[in-house]
Amino acid sequence: MLNAYEIIDKWNLQEKLGAMEYIWATLQNDTTIASPSWHQEILEKRLQEFENSSAIEWNEAKKQLKNLQY
């Protein structure tokens, strides 16, 4: 009898991606899974870095990239 890994190994790419999407969908809706505390710490750090940065809007970034001369 094949185990789950052996079965998955026989799938093509589309089947594997479909399975990943299904598994992710079931996990992301599971409220019994708690994020580790370090996730919150990283999110807070990244938010602080963003707020302290000189970020620009996406349209402005595209405009600046178009104006670059090589």
Using DSSP's 3-state secondary structure scheme, residue 70 falls into coil
**Structural domain boundaries, residue 12:** 4-66
Which CA distances in Å does 59 have to 14, 47, 68? 34, 21, 15
pLDDT in tens, 8-38: 999 999 999 999 999 999 998 888 988 899 9
What confidence tier does 43 reach under pLDDT thresholds 50, 70, 90? very high
**Total domain count for the chain?**
1
Q: What is the pTM of this model?
A: 0.47
